[in-house]
Amino acid sequence: MRNETVRVGLAGAGWVTRYHLDAWATQMSRATVVAIADPRLEAARTRAASYGIPASYQSVEEMLQHQQLDVLDIAAPRELHVPLCRMAARKNLAILCQKPLAPTLAQAEALVLELTGRARLMVHENWRFRPHYRQIHSWIRDGLVGNVRSAVLTVLTSGLLPDASGALPALVRQPMLAGLERMLLMEVLIHHVDTLRFLLGPLTLEGAQLGKSCQEIRGEDRATLLLRGQDGAAISLVGDFMARGYPPEQVDQLEIFGTEGSILLREDQLHLIGDQHQSLTLDLAANYAASYRDAIAHFLDRLQDSRPFETAPEDNLETLRIIEAAYRLH
């Protein structure tokens, strides 16, 4: 892509888009969001006013008709991802699409087959771009824990338990979670499957157990996945949104045990235990914002140098295959 400023159109004006727009703002020398579209036109106008975006539309179709764009950033509901990607490809736009690429693996595979060679498409899977996960990846890559023997990643929150006012904090933060038939795995733990793949390499699903207790949502609120690494490492991923005793905010806890050392992520503390012991205190809020910034910076870098995206659709399909297999086992 040429070195001129990239013109971006944003599809969606929901909760997550403020993080997209904050991230785009850090790339002003390379990219500018020039338009935003959402069926709730007032929401689009509100976002536009907050970020100095000159144009607002009630549909992406209308935005594409009236705007000269280079990129479509898709932050709309998952059921719209496939048609919006197709629409952008017809306009020869580069595409940054929020995860999941499609509501099901079959739809995602069909889309990837259709768009291969026709459009530059990156899945916005930003969790792995959190600075502390990049640090963990470096430690593993540099051999500081040796061969990984086992790992446990837990995502525990009381977000679907009533607070003092009777509200469910997770639904106050993201109301759309209530209506998702596939909730915890497809909306939340998909991040963690991708991150484990990033850290540990190819994974195979060995078992899965899903459950639902909260009557205010359609989908699952707890899940346990048993995975196997390429060298036989035993890996567990556990998520529960009704974990009593845990805060309503979602915080990852990760333990990785290798032949030469261990890595422990506990709240805002990250430890490398081994010959080169290190301990870091993390700014988790800053790292969350940085994950959007660095994912978008990576997207722009790859548009400029034409190298493959780290979270290319083909890579993301591997994550979706694990997620789909877990739903089949349930």
Q: Is the pLDDT of residue 57 over 60?
A: yes
Same structural domain, 91 and 189: no
pLDDT more than 70, % of the chain: 99
Q: Looking at the structure, do residues 42 and 153 belong to the same domain, yes or no? A: no
Domain limits for position 78? 6-124
| CA–CA distance, 269 with 151 (Å, rounded to integer) | 17
Mean pLDDT (whole number) for 52-81: 97
- Of 124, 153, 188, which residue constitutes the final position of a domain? 124
Model confidence pLDDT, tens digit, residues 283-320? 999 999 999 999 999 999 999 999 999 999 999 999 99
Cα gap 8→211, rounded to integer Å: 40
Same structural domain, 92 and 58 = yes
Residues 58 and 147 in one domain: no
pLDDT band at 1 (very low <50, low <70, confident <90, very high): low
**The pLDDT of residue 277:** 95
Q: Is 277 exposed, middle or buried (0-12, 13-18, 19+ CB in 10 A)?
A: exposed
Q: Are residues 106 and 222 in the same domain?
A: no
pLDDT band at 109 (very low <50, low <70, confident <90, very high): very high
State both tokens at 287.
């790292």
Strand order in the sheet with 148-156: 203-211, 222-229, 234-240, 148-156, 251-258, 262-266, 269-273, 278-281
- Give Cβ neighbours of residue 153 (< 8 Å, ≥ 6 apart): 192, 195, 196, 235, 236, 237, 238, 252, 253, 254, 255
Could you give the number of structural domains in the chain? 2
Higher per-residue confidence, 115 vs 2: 115
Let me know if residue 291 belongs to a domain: no
Instruction: Mark which of 71, 94, 124 sits at the end of a domain.
Output: 124
Residues 120 and 152 in one domain: no
Average confidence (pLDDT) over 38-56: 97
The CATH number assigned to the domain holding 105 equals: 3.40.50.720
> Mean pLDDT, to the nearest integer, of 115-131?
96
**Token pair 């944003």: residue:** 10
Indicate if 115 and 213 belong to the same structural domain: no
What is residue 224's predicted lDDT score, i.e. its pLDDT? 98
Same domain, 143 and 247: yes
Arithmetic mean of pLDDT, 137-144: 98
Predicted confidence band of residue 4 (pLDDT cuts 50, 70, 90): confident
pLDDT at 123: 98
State the Cα–Cα distance between residues 257 and 152, nearest whole angstrom: 9
Average pLDDT over residues 113-132: 96
289 within domain boundaries: no
Residue 330: the pLDDT is: 74
> In terms of domains, do 116 and 165 share one?
no
Per-residue pLDDT band at 328 (split at 50, 70, 90): very high
Verify that 20 and 48 share a domain, yes or no: yes
**Secondary structure of the chain: what % helix, strand, coil (to 5)?**
40, 25, 35
Q: What is the C-alpha separation between 58 and 168, in angstroms, rounded?
A: 30
CA 39 – CA 126 distance, rounded (Å)? 25
- Please tell me the distance from the alpha carbon of residue 162 to that of residue 130, in angstroms, as a whole number: 29
- Confidence at residue 3, expressed as pLDDT on a 0 to 100 scale: 60
Note the pLDDT of residue 2: 54
pLDDT tens track for 204-246: 999 999 999 999 999 999 999 999 998 999 999 999 999 999 9
What letter represents residue 10's amino acid?
Answer: L
Report the alpha-carbon distance of residue 8 to residue 67 in Å, rounded: 10
Average pLDDT over residues 62-67: 97
Residue 265 within any structural domain of the chain: yes
260, 111: one domain: no
Q: Which of 124, 139, 166 is the last residue of a domain?
A: 124
Q: Which of 278, 275, 232 is nearest to 145 (CA)?
A: 275
